Amino acid sequence: MRITLALIVGLLLAQVARAEPDSFDLGTGRDGVLTVPAGRGITLGAAGPLGKSVAAGDDELVVASSEFGGGDLVMIHESTGLSPVPDVGNAKGVSLAGPVALGRWELARVVVVTASTPATLLLTAPLRYTYAAGRAQVVRVAEYSDVVIEAGARLSASPWNGKSGGILAMLVTGKVVNEGRIDADGLGYLGGSFQANSDSVAGCTGLELERGKGGSERGEGVAGTSSKNGLTSGRGNLANGGGGGNCASSGGGGGGHGGVGGNGGRTTSEDGARVEGGLGGAALNYSVFERFAFGGGGGAGQGFDASGSSGAAGGGVVFIRATAFEGKGVYSASGTSAAASLGNDGAGGGGAGGAVVLRAVDVLNCGKVEALGGTGGDTKLDKQPFGPGGGGAGGRVLIQANGVACGANVSAGNAGVSGYPGAGSHGATPASTGADGGTPDGGTSTGTVQQVDQAFQVPVTPVITAPAAGEATSSTRPRFEGTAGTNGPVVHLVVDGREIGAAVPGSDGRFTYDPTTPLTAGAHDVVAWAESLGVASKPSTPVRFSTPAVVLADGGVVQMAVLVVPANGDTVGPTPLFAGTTVNGVSVGVVIDDGPDNIVPLDLLGRFRYQVPESEPLSVGTHKVTVHAHNEAGDDGPYSDVVGFEVVVPGADGGTDAGSADPAMPMVVVPAEGATVDPTFAFVGVALPGTSVRLEVDGATLATVTTDDEGVFRHILTADKALATGAHKVVAQAVTAEGEAGLRSPEVGFKVRGPTDLDVGCGCGAAPAGMLSLWALVGLGALARRRRSRS
C-alpha cells in the first residue's frame, strides 16, 4: 500500500513516546566507499549478544564481542524472548506494540570501548528503552559515503545463531549502486531440526508432544521454541515459529511473519491420513517504522528413518538509509526452502520472509525487493503419501523515496508436493489450487508492503517560544508553545528528562501543549524534538523556567463538582458529551458506570468537558455518571450526585427515538453521516450482544465482526487495507448463525481525506450545535460561584 501525508499523522500518534530520538539521518560516511567486485561476497554487521540488561537512561552496553570500536554507530535490537510466552497452537496474530519489547531497536554512538572482558561500550547519549540480556543484541551499523555492488557480487550479514546476527544495517551519505545482490536470505529464526524417532509409532496427536512419543521440533520464532511447559516439539506453532509434524510422517508447518505460515501435510495413508501436520507460524503485527523481526523458522517433518528434512530458516533483516538507490540489483530478506524428504518421512516447513527497510532522500531504483516465504519440502517416495512441508509466509517491506521504481514481492512459499501420484500437497498449505489436496489460504500467508512516496528526511528541530528562558510562570501547569515543521511531525515535550506529552503542529507549524499534571515548584528545563515516521530531529535548545510554589485554593478543601450535561433522565447518543463546572480545583474525573476516572482539565472559568471517544461508544441502554474535582495537590473532592441517562441510536428516519429502530438492527456509529476520516480508522457500531455483523463498504464485503457483551462492534482498518481518497458508503447487516442475511442498517456516507484535506490544528474539538449558549451559562455560573467563594 502507499502511505500519504493524511495517514502519517495517525501512524505517528499511535507510536510510543521515546526519551532519546533517532536523529542519525544518513550517518557520517566515516567508513568511506564500499565496493564489492563481481563474483565476490562480503559479510557486514559485527554483532554480539547483550551481556547485561540495561534500562532506559543507561549509557553503556556490555557486549560479548571484540569487534566494536570508539566512534562506531551501533544498533540495539530486542531480537528474541517475547514475554509472556504465548500459548502453543495459537494462530492469532502476535501484537508487537506498546510496552512489548520484542522488535524494538535504536541507534547509539559509541564513545569508547573498555578493555575489559566482556567489553563495555560507553555511549554518547542515554538509551531510550530497556533491553534484556539474553534477548537483545548489539550490531555495528556501517556508515559509508557510497556503496557499489557489481553484477554477480553479494553483500550479506552473519546469520542469526539464537543470540545475535541476522541484521544487515548501514547508513549511506551518498548512493547505493546495486547491480548484484544485497540480502539477508535465510539469516533469521532457525528451522526445527529433523530427528528420527527410534520407534515406529502411530495415532499420536497433540499440540505439544515429546519426540519419543511421535512429536517433531518446531521452528524458532519471537518466543523461541520452548513452550510454557518446556517442550520444543509437537504440531503446535509457537508465535511465528512453525509447528513440527506429528506421527506418522506428517510435514512441518511453515514459519510466519507478514502473514500466517502454511500447515504441514497429513500423516501417511496407513495412519489414516490424519491432520497432524505442523501448524503454520502466526503473523506478527507491528509498525515497520518502529520495529522489525525475523521471519519464523519452519517446523521439522516427522519420521522414523534418517530421510526426513528439517524446517527451513526465516529471512533476516536488511536496513538501509541512503541519499539514493540506483542499479538493477536485488534487495532481499527471503526465507529459505526446506529440503525434500527422500524416504518414509515427512518434510520440513519453509521459512518465512524477513524484513527489508529501504529509505531514500532522492530516488529508489532497483531490480526488485523481496521478502518471500520459502517453499515447503517435497516428499519424493511414491509408495504412499507422506506429509510435505507447509510454505513459509511472506515478510515485511518498507520502501520510502521521492520516486520509487522498484517492485516488491512478499509472496508466500508454496507447500511441498507429495511424490505419490494424485496426492498433490497431501493437505499442506498454502496450496496453489484446491484440487491438489491442499486448501488455498485466500492470501493470509502473503506479507505486507508499505510504500511512502515522499523523501526521507529528518524533521525540522522545534523551537520553544513559551515559556521564555528565565521566565517565572504563574502556574504549575504552564502552556508550552513553539514552532516546528509542517510535514506531519509529532512534537515531544521533555521536562527534566521525562516526556510529559506530545503535540501536532498546525498548518502554520505552531504547536501548543497544556500539561495535565502540575509540575513541582522550582526550576525546570524543557526541550522538544520532532518525530516523523520513526525518525527524529535534533533536540531543541533547552529552556529553563520556574514554577511557583503550590498554593491550595480555599485552604485545599475541594468543593463538589456539578454536572450540567446531561441532565438526569436525558436521552443521548453512544458518544455523549459530559460538561459541567466546579468552584475550585485543577481537574475533574468523570466516572461512567463505576468505571475508571476520565480526567480532564478545567479552564480558567472552572468549566470542564469530556466527550466519549468514537472508538469506545457506550452501549444502548441506561447508564449513570458522576464527577469529582481534584486540587493542585491531587486530592479528591466529593462525588457529585449520580445522573442517570439512556443511550439510543438514530433510527432509520434519522430521529433519536429509541423506539424508532428495531433493537436487532445494527447501527453504524463511526463514521457518522457526512464525516471525513483518515484512510485507516475504526468502524464502530452497536447491535444486540453476540450478533454477527457484516460490514459492506461500497457494496463489497469488508469484514464480519461480532458484538461484545455490551453490544458494541469494531473493525479497525489496518494500513495495508486503507481506503482510497474520496466518497464511500458503509452498511452493517446482521448475519444469523446459519449464515443468512438479517436486518441492515441505514446507509452511512462518508469521505476519506487526502493529503490536501489534512487538518492538524489544536485538536481541541468543536462544541456541538447549541453548546455555545450552554457554555455561556455554565461559565457565568462558575464565575459567580468562584467570586462568592472568595468574598
Residue 108 is assigned to a structural domain of this protein: no
Low-confidence winner among 163-177, 211-225, 404-418, 530-544 (lowest mean pLDDT): 530-544
CA dist 465 to 476, 510, 513, Å?
18, 10, 12
Q: Is 516 in the same domain as 431? A: no
Contact 708, 617 (CB under 8 A): no
Residues 203 and 156 in one domain: yes
Contact yes or no for 98/129 (Cβ under 8 A) = no
Query: Residue 586: its pLDDT value, please?
Result: 81
Across residues 582-610, what is the average pLDDT?
86
Buried b or exposed e, range 564-580, using 16+ CB within 10 angstroms: bbbeeeeebbbbbbbbb
CATH of the domain at 518: 2.60.40.1220
**Whether 741 and 769 share a structural domain:** no
Segment 681-705 mean pLDDT: 86
Nearest-angstrom CA–CA distance, 279 and 238: 9
Regarding pTM above 0.75, the answer is: no
Beta bridge partners of 513: 480
Residue that is written with C-alpha cell 512441518 in the block: 252
In a domain, 409, yes or no: yes
In the three-class reduction of DSSP (H, G, I as helix; E, B as strand; rest coil), residue 280 is classed as coil
pLDDT for 737 equals: 77
H or E element: which one contains 789? helix 771-790
Pair 414, 376: CB distance under 8 Å: yes
Q: Are both 633 and 692 inside the same structural domain?
A: no
171 and 250 co-located in one domain: yes
Q: What are phi and psi of 9, to 5 degrees?
A: -60, -40
C-alpha cell at 524: 525546570
Distance CA 14, CA 235 (A): 36
Same domain, 264 and 314: yes
DSSP type of residue 525? E
Closest C-alpha among 155, 169, 178 to residue 26: 169
What are φ and ψ of residue 452, in 5° steps? -110, 115
The reply to whether 147 falls in a domain is yes
* pLDDT band with cut points at 50, 70 and 90 for residue 506: confident
Cα–Cα dist 148/437, whole Å? 47
Question: Is 105 inside any structural domain?
Answer: no
The mean per-residue pLDDT over the stretch 259-269 comes to: 96
Under a CB-based contact definition with an 8 Å cutoff, are residues 181 and 149 in contact?
Answer: yes
What pLDDT was estimated at residue 444? Answer: 80
Across residues 436-456, what is the average pLDDT?
Answer: 74
pLDDT of residue 739 exceeding 80: no
| Cα torsion angle, 684, 687, 693, 695, sign | negative
Q: Helix, strand, coil shares of the chain as percentages rounded to 5?
A: 5, 35, 60
Q: With pLDDT > 70 as the criterion, what percentage of the chain qualifies?
A: 87
Same domain flag for 431 and 329: yes
Instruction: For the chain, give the mean pLDDT.
Output: 86
Q: Tell me whether the omega of the peptide bond preceding residue 671 falls within 30 degrees of 0, making it cis.
A: yes
Residue 113, in any domain of the structure: no
pLDDT confidence of residue 98: 86
The yes-or-no verdict on residue 707 having pLDDT over 70 is yes
Q: Which pLDDT does position 633 carry in this prediction?
A: 67
Distance CA 301, CA 347 (A): 4
Same domain, 687 and 587: no
Total of domains in the chain:
4
The candidate with the shortest Cα–Cα distance to 254, out of 148, 121, 353, is 353
Are 344 and 247 part of one and the same domain? yes
CB atoms closer than 10 angstroms to residue 592? 18
Q: Is the domain of 190 the same as that of 264? A: yes
Backbone angles phi, psi at 757, to 5 degrees: -90, 0
pLDDT bucket at 653, cuts 50 / 70 / 90: very low
Please say if the pLDDT value at position 236 is more than 80. Answer: yes
The residue out of 457, 476, 509 marking a domain boundary is: 457
CATH number for the domain including 688? 2.60.40.10
d(CA 159, CA 165): 5
Model confidence at 441: pLDDT above 70: no
Residue appearing with cell numbers 547485561: 52
pLDDT at 679: 77
Which pLDDT belongs to residue 554? 61
Q: How far apart are CA 40 and CA 641, in angstroms?
A: 79
CA distance linking residue 602 with residue 609, whole number of Å: 8
pLDDT score for 788: 34
Q: In which order are the strands placed within the sheet that holds 480-483? A: 463-466, 480-483, 510-513
pLDDT for res 786: 35
pLDDT at 759: 34
- Pick the range with the lowest mean pLDDT from 11-20, 434-443, 727-736: 11-20
Residue 363 lies in a domain: yes
Pick the range with the lowest mean pLDDT from 46-50, 110-114, 221-225, 580-584: 580-584
For residue 672, give its domain range: 664-757
Q: Report the distance separating Cα 396 and Cα 334, nearest Å.
A: 10
More confident residue, 768 or 193: 193
The pLDDT, as a whole number, for residue 731 is 93
* Tens digit of each residue's pLDDT (9 = 90 or more) over 57-75: 899 999 988 789 999 999 9
Same domain? For 636 and 566 the reply is yes
In a domain, 444, yes or no: yes
CA-based max dimension of the chain: 100
The answer on 166 and 216 residing in a single domain is: yes
Which of 529, 547, 565 is the last residue before a domain boundary? Answer: 547
> Would you give the DSSP letter of residue 104?
B
Q: Specify the higher pLDDT residue, 295 or 710.
A: 295
Assess contact for 217 and 244: CB atoms under 8 A.
Answer: yes
- Residue pLDDT, tens place only, 103-112: 999 999 999 9
Which residues are CB-contacts of 159 (< 8 A; sequence separation ≥ 6)?
A: 165, 166, 186, 187, 313, 316
Query: Which residue, of 457, 484, 499, is where some domain finishes?
Result: 457
Q: Residue 632: count other Cβ atoms within 10 Å of its Cβ.
A: 19
- Give the model confidence (pLDDT) of 348-368 as tens digits: 999 999 999 999 999 999 999
Q: Which residues pair with 233 in a beta bridge?
A: 217
Which helix (H) or strand (E) segment holds residue 786: the answer is helix 771-790
3-state secondary structure at position 776 = helix
In a domain, 19, yes or no: no
Q: Average pLDDT in the 508-518 region?
A: 87
Higher pLDDT, 666 or 314: 314
Return the H-helix or E-strand segment holding 143. strand 136-144
Residues 294/315, Cβ–Cβ less than 8 Å: yes
Beta bridge partners of 181: 154, 330
**Across 606-615, 695-704, 757-766, least confident range:** 757-766
Average pLDDT for 292-303: 98
Q: What confidence score (pLDDT) does residue 551 get? A: 61
* Full DSSP string of 368-389: EEE-PPPPPPPB---SS---PP
Q: Are 752 and 761 in contact (CB under 8 A)?
A: no
Alpha carbons 345 and 348: distance in angstroms, whole number: 10
- Judge whether residue 656 has pLDDT over 50: no
The pLDDT of residue 410 is above 90: yes
**Around Cβ 136, how many Cβ atoms within 10 Å?**
28
pLDDT of 116 reads 84
The DSSP line for 684-730 is EEE-STT-EEEEEETTEEEEEEE--TTSEEEEEPPGGGPPPSEEEEE
User: CA–CA separation, 178 vs 154, rounded Å?
Assistant: 9
